[in-house]
Amino acid sequence: MSDDGALVLFSGGQDSTTCLAWALERFSRVETLGFDYNQRHRVELDRRAILREAMAGMNPAWLRRLGRDHTIALDALGKVSETALTRSTEIALEAGGLPNTFVPGRNIIFLTFAAALAYRRSLGHIVGGMCETDYSGYPDCRDDTIKALQVALNLGMDRRFVLHTPLMWIDKAETWTMAQDLGGRPLVDLIVEDTHTCYLGTRGERHAWGYGCGTCPACELRAKGHAKFVAEAA
């Protein structure tokens, strides 16, 4: 198991792109992992290769450290999930207070598969963009969930994985700031132009913060964070 190698959960969105830059600054070997679960916004997967190539070209150290990319098909997750992320249905709050974009168990499943791959690839660190400061209330994004899962994975695989969540305690404006601190204006511009966050998979309209429908919860969070980031930088 390598103490200087990391596997980043890399969806092609703003948060995971920022986390990839964070990992490239810290680990000597960084591999990426994406999941195809027939998500409604599957267009995000198409952004991954574009983003990896652009980030490798930004920094010679990042180019040296960026390793293999992996994609795992999780069709079963899409089939068992009756959610607005896996079905063409209107986004709304459910009776329990959670939005119907919540895919039960998604991050638990993602991190379990990531650990299995990290085991095979001899990578000791797993990096994810989970956050409970500025999010939609998903219980599998909470710090307690990630800490509990780290214990379970280490026990179940008899390895010492460290699960990193660099965005856990920051809001979306601070995520934009982190990207700027890590990669300067080129990384911020890349995130605006080439990452995808919109739950509906819309890439038609270009906003100041990037492409998206502008009204789904993911777009609203991203837009609000970008506006605050710009205002604080002025």
Domain segments of the chain: what residues? Answer: 2-172
Q: Are 14 and 191 in contact (CB under 8 A)?
A: yes
User: Sign of the CA dihedral 110, 115, 120, 123?
Assistant: positive
For the chain (234 residues), the mean pLDDT of every run of 10, in chain order, is: 86 96 98 86 86 98 98 77 54 54 78 96 96 77 93 96 97 97 98 92 90 90 96 90
pLDDT of residue 225: 96
Q: Is 131 annotated as a binding residue?
A: no
Q: Is 182 annotated as a binding residue?
A: no
Largest CA distance in the chain: 50
Q: Is 10 annotated as a binding residue?
A: yes
Q: Is 141 annotated as a binding residue?
A: no
Q: Look at strands 66-73 and 29-36 and give their pairing.
A: parallel
pLDDT of residue 101: 58
Using CA atoms, how far apart are residues 42 and 196, in angstroms rounded to an integer? 9
Entry pTM: 0.91
Using CA atoms, how far apart are residues 101 and 87, in angstroms rounded to an integer? 10
pLDDT of residue 84: 45
Q: Is 13 annotated as a binding residue?
A: yes
For the domain made up of 2-172, the CATH class stated in words is alpha beta
pLDDT of residue 44: 83
What are the Cα distances from residue 178, in Å, to 17, 75, 188?
11, 33, 9
